Amino acid sequence: MQRTILHMDLDSFFVSVERLIDSKLIGKPILVGGTGDRGVVSTASYEARKYGAHSGMPMRMAKRLCPEAITIRGNAGTYTKYSKLVTDIMKGEVPILEKSSIDEFYADLSGMDKYVGAYKFSSELRQKIMRETGLPISFGLAANKIVSKVATGEAKPNNQIKIDRGFEKPFLAPLSIRKIPMVGEKMFQTFCNLGIKKVNKVQEMPVEMMESVFGKNGRVVWKRANGIDSSPIIEYHERKSISNERTFRRDTTDVYRLKTIMRAMAEDLAFQLRNGNRLTSCVTVKIRYSDFNTYSKQMKIPYTSADHTLIERVLEIFNKLYNRRLLVRLIGVRFSSLVQGKYQIDLFEDTKKTVNLYNAMDIIRNKYGSRSVIRASTYGAKTIGGFTNPFNGEPPIVLAHRHQ
């Protein structure tokens, strides 16, 4: 059967979510990401991209290029929530779904042209996603994953395009060679040194010449430039772990600060577990020192999604792992071995009040952001993994109770 592959990509996803939360940001240049000296741009709005800012760029450089840009740390929990909304819609509509990132999806629509028509179906799916989530999304439809992905890039922002079978090479020919997935800055520079900037020049080259210059990657790029790709759709499965990391602007030995941030990370991840009806049975803590040596330690625990249990385990592991004589560059927390399930009362420790407290906290967090209500012991940790939630400029509700 001839394949029909749909590629969908949420347009400047983090920025779009922030604009849903605050409509005053619409039309303004936005940079989402870490705002410190080592901060990196996660997403740049199209208004900021006009000045040369782009994802992966150091935030300081992006601010120099676009001084008017509004910088936002963002909130990982909020972005995950909106990504899940889109994922759930697509899972209910397409036969085979691959989720390649938080904002990027592939679907195999092969054979659908016999019935409703793949392009008509894709258009209706795109409209449904925009209607039910409020997020702009673009798609490309083609005979394989590579061409559909490039087509989506050409369709953006907030549009759609179909590449008919047999027209893959003419579609790709006039594009910059940088548009081909796998061609990074270093490979592009080599192409420029050879006087090659457009895809059509690669299409005209013998594949043996590409191999002699780039090795085995040369053959892969040559195939992609010619619209040849047989990579399969890897069916989406629920993730088996969630994690959070924090790289410090300056390496530190401040134990109080380290533990405060570890508590905040564990609290935020526990909220994500409960929000996704997940439980974890494995807790891992990671520490990277100033000499870049990295150490991690994990602990198996009974399945849970309770803040007080997970925070206690995280700190227990941290105390065993931490070397007080060395400066710390990065710390991280990971919950793995995830399964479907809801938080259960521990007959020996918990009360109905504890469960009701978690339910109330999660309702507030879902409405106002994951850091809108926090424990007193994590109040000092304003940023989690490079993201923060300003709670619309208001201070968070701080809870102090027996589980700290």
Residues whose CB falls within 8 Å of the CB of residue 259, separated by 6 or more in sequence, listed in order? 315, 318
Query: What's the CA gap between 135 and 13, in Å, rounded?
Result: 8
Q: Which residue stretches of 134-230 are H helix?
A: 145-155, 168-172, 185-193, 199-204, 207-214, 216-225
Tokens for 156, please give them.
Answer: 């953006």
Query: What's the CA gap between 334 and 170, in Å, rounded?
Result: 46
Burial of 369 (0-12, 13-18, 19+ CB in 10 A): buried
Catalytic residue among 18, 68, 98, 104: 104
Residues whose CB falls within 8 Å of the CB of residue 261, separated by 6 or more in sequence, listed in order? 246, 331, 381, 384
Residues whose CB falls within 8 Å of the CB of residue 350, separated by 6 or more in sequence, listed in order? 306
The answer to whether the CB of 379 falls within 8 A of the CB of 402 is: no
Burial of 5 (0-12, 13-18, 19+ CB in 10 A): buried
Among 118, 120, 15, CA closest to 71: 15
Burial 70-98 (b: 16+ CB within 10 A, else e): bbbbbbbbbbbbbbeebbebbeeebeebb
Query: What's the CA gap between 59 and 350, in Å, rounded?
Result: 44
Across the beta sheet with 96-101, what order do the strands follow? 96-101, 104-108, 5-10, 137-142, 160-162
Q: Answer yes or no: 104 catalytic.
A: yes
Q: How far is CA 316 from CA 104, 122, 158, 403, in A?
A: 37, 50, 48, 15
Among 211, 167, 214, CA closest to 191: 214
Tokens for 145, please give them.
Answer: 């994953």
Tokens for 203, please give them.
Answer: 């299409």
- Angle subtended at Cα 178 by Cα 171 and Cα 187, rounded to the nearest 5 degrees: 135
Show which residues are catalytic.
Answer: 104
